[in-house]
Amino acid sequence: MDSSTIDVAVWNIEADGGRDGERRDFALDILSQLGDGGPDVVLQQEAKHSRERGGRLMHATEKRLGLRGFLAAPNPGVDADIATAIYLRPDMFHVAEQKPRAKPWWLHPCHVQTQLGDCPAPLNFVSFHMCYYDADQRLTEAGWMTTMAELGMVTIAAGDTNSYPRRSEPIALPTWEKVTDRAHMVQRTYLAADGTRRSDTRPDGVLIDAGYVDLARHASDHLDGVGKEALAATAGFNKPHQGGPQRIDRGYGTGGVSSALVHVEVIDNEDTRAVADHALLFYRFHRARLEAVATQAALAFCVA
């Protein structure tokens, strides 16, 4: 492990790797090989079975990766209690508070407020999974995310948006007239005032307007050696009936987080596809810069 950097992995692990961990061990193999000795932070979606049997899958992940795990608040009001999860390196982060976020989300986000090393200023991590079937619900969920971007807050938030970037990208948005899965078309679009259906880019727009930075976009535009590969598709592989591959899994930072970013990678290969229907996202931050960002944001809030 390189103590000068912080490695963050984001992964929607399909159905949590199986109730009995059929694919979970392989997922942990892949994660443990990231960076120098595995990631320092994992933001997981579809932690579907991690709460069961006394948190057996969560504790197995903690042991394997050497991280401390947190799950979103229970969500008994939906068909399936599909948690989101956060795993943190315990000797790197002091956990100040885990906040049980619930309303207005369809699937509850996991939010952990930390302190990085000796830095007294808080650093928020949020693992989220936006609603897959209702564009207006996603818009509401994005609205909640703006509360993590208020003055003085430093936040790294990532997950499955089930929607698209507002700014045009190398991958064109689906041509909905040609999409044969009509239910999916409705789920991923919204009805505009003129009565036409448009690709749902509104959650991304809300986050960007609120001050979040799309970390992959920032890397593509500003970091040497990254390029357009950071904007690669993260899901929709082998699904032409749904419009094909798209970049729906995204990481965002606010409070100056992007200034500490040094690398972004979308990991999509035979191994990751054997585990999940989503690519694995990898973000590397410069630790000292991230500590400075948190301190400066806290000072700016106090002055204001």
- Distance from C-alpha of 249 to C-alpha of 272, rounded to nearest angstrom: 14
What pLDDT, on a 0 to 100 scale, did the predictor assign at position 299? 65
Token reading at 177: 């007239």
Going across the sheet that includes 155-160, the strands are 93-99, 110-116, 122-129, 155-160, 249-254, 213-214
What pLDDT, on a 0 to 100 scale, did the predictor assign at position 296? 83
- Distance from C-alpha of 92 to C-alpha of 287, rounded to nearest angstrom: 10
pTM here is 0.95
**Please, which residues bridge with residue 250 across strands?**
159
Contact 125, 69 (CB under 8 A): no
Q: H or E segment at 131?
A: none
Residues of the chain with pLDDT under 70: 1-2, 77, 79-80, 298-304
- Quickly count: other Cβ atoms within 10 Å of residue 87's Cβ: 28
- Distance from C-alpha of 280 to C-alpha of 48, rounded to nearest angstrom: 18
Closest C-alpha to 28, from 55, 60, 1, 52: 60
Torsion sign across C-alpha atoms 186, 85, 117, 32:
negative
Instruction: Write the CB contacts of 268 (distance below 8 Å, at least 6 apart in sequence).
Output: 232, 233, 234, 237, 279, 280
What pLDDT, on a 0 to 100 scale, did the predictor assign at position 117? 83
How confident is the model over 229-257, as pLDDT tens digits? Answer: 999 999 999 999 999 999 999 999 999 99
Cα 221 from chain centre: 20
Q: Is residue 253 helix, strand or coil?
A: strand
What pLDDT, on a 0 to 100 scale, did the predictor assign at position 298? 63
Q: Is residue 19 helix, strand or coil?
A: coil
